[in-house]
Structure 1
Amino acid sequence: MTGTEEEVRAALAGRRESALLAEPSVMAVARLLVTRCRDAGIWVRTAVGTLDRYAREAAGGDLAGLLAAGREDASVAQRSLEDIALRHPDLTAGQLAALAFGPTLWWTAAGVAVAWRPLGNATVASAGRPPQEPPERRPLPVPGTDPDVRLLLLALIGSGTTAYELLGVRVGDAGSLDAAGEVVPDLAAEPLALSFAPEDGGPRRVTFLPPDARAALLARLAERGPLAPEDPLLLPPDTAVATAEAADAVSAALIEAGNDVNVALCRATGDFFREWGMPGARFVARGHSQVPLT
């Protein structure tokens, strides 16, 4: 067993979906992620976990058979991805993107061309439910946050990168992946892969932008106008430093607020048990004045 395979198996240790690694095409996806991504465990678990569901829903448990059919007719592969949206009409665009993550990588790593595009029609509301507000318009991380600060914070969440690494990503560094794990420039890709230079040196690595961050990025890029491949992806160069500093301040405020909530909840819980005793301490059974605790 190679070191790469050991890392793959370690990422899935104790998980039911680890059985899928017996399928060579699944192991190939996981090895690709380990080779190209930093701290690849989360990406391996996400990819193989969604492939496990895809295998049951789209392939009847026979991924090898589906792969053979897709290699003979690429439209089989694309239809199998589109069927994810048809099976789950109530899911949001972000949820569909999450389900398609592993299958999209799987087809690509196997050499079958599929479209790296959002599934379904995100603008159509599910039956009986009002349309959801687009992710880029939701007041996250906090209401009133500057759009560029918000974009940077969203991009940091889940991507496993630092602000310095993200600010070094260029327009030409974002897109889909090819079978070798190299980024093919395409700003409309879903999932949106980013090639970045690690802050501590070493070869370039790949990460993926979360769906909400991707939506916010596309909205900001539309406002910035035409960009060249060498232009910074996330922020204009004249605002990058100030935005990063503001993002640090907002992040610190969010962490402090979370700590305050945690402390308040702990104190409230302690005060409750000091007044009322441990669970069962005041339990009174029918016909008895008090049930002893011992």
Structure 2
Amino acid sequence: MTQRILLALIPALTAAPALAEDVNVYSHRQPELVQPLFDAFTAETGINVNVAFVDKGMVERLTAEGARSPADLVMTVDIARLDQVVAAGVTQAVDDPALEAAIPAEFRDPGQHWFGLTSRARIVYASKDRVAPGEVTTYEDLADPKWKGRICTRPFTSDYNVALTAAFLAHHGPEATRAWLEGVKANLAKRPEGNDRSQVKSIWAGECDISLGNTYYMGQMLADPEQIPWANAVNIVFPVFEGGGTHVNISGVAMTKSAPNRDNALKLMEFLASDEAQRIYAETNHEFPIKPGVARSALVESWGEFTPDSLSLTEMARLRPEALKLIEDVNFDG
């Protein structure tokens, strides 16, 4: 039996009886990004993966469903989202030697509630024609007036930019972070809108010269004939924090407190941390595998090496509310 898709419109509190050879996932990740993983898991184990794509309201839905929730696992992007589901009390700790062996400690919740699966860097896409090599090297540099009218970005209230701001806050404190946000805002070529790929399109169209984005979007653009010209118009630059490294975030998984198919859910978690699944992530999604020893794809390797920032993910999540308040206080997206 192949993977089934549970529509996110299914009302809460209508869970069907658990099936012995099923596992149910609430996913914030786009279905096409995780389906190859679930197909491989089903082929290997015979366990069906039922997926509900929940774009918004994941915590609220799990809280409303309570002990009757059909969800076994939550898969999402961004450390703050993982932290939110744990803080809401809708997950359970998983003490599993296989997961501990596969996933480095810095990519696991100290309480064993969430586990990282992949990482991605928040980088700068820079015009090949209008930005010289070495012209941008740090995140702090984005506030330099030399970039006035040259920066495009998706809204800074989006998860990825809030996480970047939280990391900046950890390195420099609130006053410097406010000044940085004001400086970057003053350098915008247009009001923040769209997603990371649409910013690269704007560079290609000559509307701006640099933008912020996640690394894996380059791979996605190169796989889309319409977007190949956008990708070919930019270079990838790995900026660093002054005194630190390149900002990194994760995707991850957590087991729900209800987990009607706990044994199957644990098997899926272990599979997602396996060499096979980590290679699928690398080749299909163009993300960085978290498991040591699993190689990046050739395309990702071609983007070059970088030094990840040493800031802990839990500290980044802790500072998220303060970072979001600073973004709103300067009316960055206004």
> Which TM-score band applies after superposition, normalised by the shorter structure?
under 0.3
Q: TM-score if structure 2 supplies the norm length? A: 0.24
- Higher normalized strand content (fraction of residues): 2
Q: Kindly indicate whether structure 1 or structure 2 has the higher relative contact order, using CA contacts under 8 Å at least 6 residues apart.
A: 2
- Higher normalized helix content (fraction of residues): 1
Which structure has the greater CA radius of gyration?
A: 1
